[in-house]
Amino acid sequence: MLENTPMSIMSPDAIGKSQPPPSAADAVIRTEELHKYYEMGETRVHALRGVSVMISRGEFVAIMGASGSGKSTFMNILGCLDRPNSGRYLLEGTDVSQHDKKALASIRNQKIGFVFQGFNLLARTTALENTELPTLYTKIAQADRRKRSIEALAMVGLANRAEHFPSQMSGGQQQRVAIARALVNRPSILLADEPTGNLDTRTSVEIMEIFQNLNDKGLTILLVTHEQDVAQFAKRVLVFRDGKLRKDDLVVNRPSATEVLKTLPTLED
Ligand code: ADP
Ligand code: MG
């Protein structure tokens, strides 16, 4: 079990060597001194207070921190749902921090998959149609849209639920449809804001298994969670406090979600 290999039996060469610093060339995400304010009548909330970080292709990052520490604000900027008031955001080398809404929407649709705590599926629409939705805003041909949607559902283990409606699926299955929908345009980054926040322990680990499998295939993933048990499945953990990045650590002896699932009791459907 490679994932549980203790440091002591690693080759001597591997010991004591720090990770090579990520070079700007592989940075899929790079932020420089991001600040974000929200104006609320008389008061002004300083939600991000100078966040600088670099994330390379293939990373799997968990973002932690107390409620109100700026995690969602940061994710919304990374996901091109919002803009910073100052600072720069380079997405695959392009500074998008001054792009207007239309330009951001276009980049978002091409490069970013977003998963939310509340699934946000359309109720009267099948799993397949929900998954297909983001392709409607692209130039992908009709036949390819269907094919890609079926592939995306297969990636999350739901090929056999394509014709089901959200009300006919469990919370975990609905979240998997939301992940398929986030993947259908083949994004370079998957962003997930508390994706397991509404799910029980076993279902949360099942979602983390999907994320680990996608990351193993090369997808860059950033996920917000306030549960240490969920964060440990990532490769790196960032901790926010009061709008600042306070910690940035690599995960040591990261567990395999597939292995953890073998130790958890299964629930009846
Ligand atoms: P987290 O996701 O870590 O809980 P948020 O990024 O949602 O934190 O919020 C950071 C701060 O910004 C909080 O003080 C929050 O109340 C405030 N905030 C977030 N969104 C808005 C908004 N749309 N309008 C006003 N204030 C907001
Ligand atoms: Mg939040």
Q: pLDDT of the chain along its 269 residues, tens only?
A: 344 444 333 433 444 444 555 566 679 999 999 999 999 889 999 999 999 999 999 999 999 999 999 999 999 999 999 999 999 999 999 999 999 999 999 999 999 999 998 989 999 999 999 999 999 988 889 889 999 999 999 999 999 999 999 999 999 999 999 999 999 999 999 999 999 999 999 999 999 999 999 999 999 999 999 999 999 999 999 999 999 999 999 999 999 999 999 999 886 55
Q: Determine contact, residues 224/71, Cβ cutoff 8 Å.
A: yes
Answer yes or no: is 128 within a domain: yes
**Please, what is the Cα angle at 22 between 106 and 66, to 5 degrees?**
70
| Residue-level pLDDT at 137 | 85
Inter-residue contact 82 to 256 (CB < 8 Å): no
Asked if the structure places residue 42 within a domain, the reply is yes
Q: Which of 34, 35, 37, 38 to mutate to test the pocket of ligand 1 (most atoms within 8 A of CB)?
A: 38
pLDDT confidence of residue 265: 86
Indicate if ligand 1 lies below 6 Å from the C-beta of 225.
no
Q: Is 73 in the pocket of ligand 1 (CB under 6 A)?
A: yes
Structural domain boundaries, residue 70: 27-255
Q: Ligand 1, closest atom to CA 67?
A: 4
Please indicate, yes or no, if residue 10 is contained in any of the structural domains. no
Q: Is residue 137 within 6 Å of ligand 1 at its C-beta?
A: no
| Domain-located, residue 205 | yes
| CB-based contact 57:26 (threshold 8 Å) | yes
CATH of the domain at 96: 3.40.50.300
Assigned domain for 267 exists = no
Structural domains in the chain (count): 1
**What's the CA-to-centroid distance between 72 and ligand 2, angstroms?**
4
0.75 surpassed by pTM: yes
Instruction: Let me know if residue 2 belongs to a domain.
Output: no
So what's the pLDDT on residue 1? 39
Ligand 1 contact, 71 CB (< 6 A): yes
CB of 38 closer than 6 A to ligand 1? yes
**Longest Cα pair distance anywhere in the chain, in angstroms?**
60
End-to-end CA distance of the chain: 30
User: Is position 6 within any domain?
Assistant: no
Query: Does the residue 268 lie in any domain?
Result: no
Cα distance between residue 144 and residue 134, in whole Å: 13
- List CB contacts of 126: < 8 A, sequence separation 6 or more: 162, 163, 164, 165
